[in-house]
Amino acid sequence: MQKKKEVEAKLSELEGGISAEILQKYKALRADKQTNFPLVKGCKGGNCSLCGKAFSGVVQNQLSSETVTECEYCHKFIFKL
Cα separations (Å) of 29 from 7, 10, 24, 54, 60? 21, 21, 9, 23, 23
Please give the Cα distance from 63 to 57 (Å, whole number). 10
51-80: per-residue pLDDT in tens?
Answer: 999 999 999 888 888 778 889 998 888 888
SS3 69: strand
pTM, two decimal places = 0.64
- pLDDT at position 54 is 94
Q: What angle do CA 31, 36, 40 make, to 5 degrees?
A: 85
pLDDT at 55: 92
Q: Which domain holds residue 73?
A: 2-80
Q: Name residues whose C-beta falls within 8 Å of residue 10's C-beta, 6 or more positions apart in sequence.
A: none
Q: What domain count does the chain have?
A: 1
> pLDDT tens digit string along 3-53?
888 888 888 887 887 788 888 888 888 787 777 777 788 888 889 988 999
